[in-house]
């Protein structure tokens, strides 16, 4: 069996091979594209780690500073520490937003969060 193309004859087997290689090229590009997207997704998931990976309590002082007291990590390990955020500190607004509605003199539970 022969196919006629542009004035010459090409055996059908070569046309089939050409078709498979062309389709294979599409599949290869598709595979590479999906691989890149999966790697990018994994990198983004790593960047999406918790901003504050602790449980504990948070207290707002009279001067509006926030003191976070850490009691355990997200994976259940004991923690014993604290961190203070004063108004104007770079992360203060994010911390205060997470503690929604905390007022001076008030203590609230602290839960982990992402920015």
Residue 101 lies in a domain: yes
Mean pLDDT of the chain: 77
Residue 115 lies in a domain: no
Do 35 and 67 have their domain in common?
Answer: no
Per-residue confidence (pLDDT) for residue 114, from 0 to 100? 75
Do 63 and 82 have their domain in common?
Answer: yes
The answer to whether residues 3 and 9 touch, using CB atoms and an 8 Å cutoff, is yes
Residue 76 lies in a domain: yes
The answer to whether residues 86 and 92 touch, using CB atoms and an 8 Å cutoff, is yes
Residue range of the domain that includes 29? 2-47
Do 38 and 76 have their domain in common?
Answer: no
Percent helix, strand, coil in the chain (nearest 5)?
35, 30, 30
* Measured distance CA(57)–CA(16) in Å, rounded: 69
Do 105 and 58 have their domain in common?
Answer: yes
* Measured distance CA(40)–CA(47) in Å, rounded: 11
Per-residue confidence (pLDDT) for residue 113, from 0 to 100? 81
Do 41 and 86 have their domain in common?
Answer: no
Do 38 and 72 have their domain in common?
Answer: no
Do 29 and 76 have their domain in common?
Answer: no
Indicate the pairing of strand 66-73 with strand 78-85. Answer: antiparallel
Do 59 and 43 have their domain in common?
Answer: no
Q: What is the pTM of this model?
A: 0.57
Please tell me the total count of domains within the chain. 2
Per-residue pLDDT of the chain (115 residues), as tens digits, is 545 555 556 665 555 545 555 555 666 776 666 666 666 555 444 444 557 789 999 999 999 999 999 999 999 999 999 999 999 999 899 999 999 999 999 999 999 987 6
């Amino acid at each position: 069996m022969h196919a006629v193309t542009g004035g010459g004859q090409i055996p059908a087997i070569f046309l089939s091979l050409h078709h498979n290689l062309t389709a294979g090229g599409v599949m290869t590009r598709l595979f590479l594209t999906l691989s890149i997207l999966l790697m990018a997704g994994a990198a983004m998931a790593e960047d999406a780690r918790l901003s504050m990976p602790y449980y504990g309590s948070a207290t707002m002082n009279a001067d509006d500073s926030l003191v976070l007291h850490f009691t355990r990590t997200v994976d259940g390990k004991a923690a014993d520490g604290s961190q203070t955020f004063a108004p104007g500190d770079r992360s203060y607004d994010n911390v205060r937003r997470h503690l929604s509605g905390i007022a001076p003199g008030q203590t609230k539970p602290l839960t982990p969060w992402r920015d």
